[in-house]
Structure 1
Amino acid sequence: MDFSLDNFTSFYLQRNSWQFSLYKKKILVIGFMGVITISLFNSVVYYALNYTQIINAVLVLAAIPAATIFLSSIMKIEKTNLFQILGLVLSIIGIGAIISNGEVERILSLSFNKGDLWMIVCVLSWSLYTTLLKKNKFKFSQFTLIQLMVSVGLLFLIPQYFYEQSIGLEVRYNKAFFLILFYVVMFPAIAAYYFWQKGIEIIGPNRSSMFIQLMPLFSAVMAIIIFDEKFELYHFAGAAFVVSGIYLSNKKIND
């Protein structure tokens, strides 16, 4: 019994020592990723939407695949092929069709403000996070990585919390707050980050980033289901372009 307990204790300490050495080697990268995602990206998105329209925000976020392809090429993480470029162009056309209701004039008449500039910060931070995930091959689980990123990210959110308190912004702890908190934690936070990291691990940053283009498509579908909006021809055309773009971007150059 004592022998088994000693063996278990020794194994536990060695295992945790090995894990700690892995964390120690990557702690600066993990900390940086936590800051640019949990602290920066999430905060800036919500802040930017106070000054810009959703249609503008979606348009700017559509630049994430292009920024990711650019960064991964500079950092020599993944080569870009012709299919990925064509897929990117097709998906952007599809997004434009969906959010403009098929009217080119609506896109041309858009005016941009400081909220849109803040959304560009989001594009750069998310693209950099995506490329760093592939560049640094972490040898621990996705959930461990998320936990470490969130831990660091939350530390940098504390000053923001006290600043909002100082200017009179207070949280109302009611039923709606806890329901929203549960949704945000379970889906946009844990689930979204886990599957995004897993996708990048499997197919790389360039191809993974193309799936960002599904956001306006899903938004349109949800609007049709929840708000009883009509399904128009431009929805179909836009969806066809987006799906075709994602399909092309996931083809290999030797297919």
Structure 2
Amino acid sequence: MDNTPKKYFVEQGSIVREIWSKADNILFVFAGSAAEFALNKAVDWLYFTGNLPADPLGRLFSTVAYGRMIIFSEYDGALAAIDKINAIHHGVEKARGAQIPDWAYRDVIYMLIDYSIRSFELLERPLSDEEKEDVFDVFYRMGLRMGLKDMPYNYKEWLISRVDHLREHLVQSHYTLDLFKQYKKHLGTVRYQLLKQVQLLIVPDEAKRLLPIDRLSYLSPVISFYKLTRLVGLHGLLKEAILPPAYKSQIREMDVW
């Protein structure tokens, strides 16, 4: 019998596991990312395959699946998931005959760091400096495995680099407006309004000012109520009321690992 302790890419006590073990946290991560992807100067790469505008929710759940494989799998399985992501991207580059800019890859890693922290702090509690460093370290190592260059070495350096990326790599374009049209088409009017309200709460100011959304926020009191429903075990009912019926089973699976 092999008693060798299992090795994980993300240790079992990591705050990243806690963040990514709850569906509402993950959904808030991707609400923020949906906004920022729409503004990124490299968003044309997401349009090259047509997958994102054609099925933004399907793309969300595909990305979530890879993220959870990396975070919850044993070490070799996590590396295999990262390598598969790399292979998919390299296939797109080959098909287009160009390379995705290194800064665009870093932007995605930065989103995962930032929105993991923002979603947890919005829905749960403030994170300690050590916990934020833990979040940074997980996605930093993911970036290294992907072969990314010029990654900051710690959370404090990342904070500076993150602001630079937000200022240099975001712009409202026709892709921005089209993606938001697709979000509305696939979510429906009510859920689309909810998405924009979440984005108002979670997206950095540098990105928020470029978004095609209203600035009137009414979701903060709802978030307070939502936290209360968690305590009494009713948050699942509220969650199902605001999600497309076709994806309810996949949402429930995010809460179970």
Same fold? TM cut 0.5: no
Which structure dedicates a bigger proportion of its chain to helix?
Answer: 1
Larger Cα-atom Rg = 1
Q: Which has the higher contact order (CA 8 A, sep 6+)?
A: 1
Give TM-score, length-normalised by structure 2: 0.30
Give TM-score, length-normalised by structure 1: 0.30
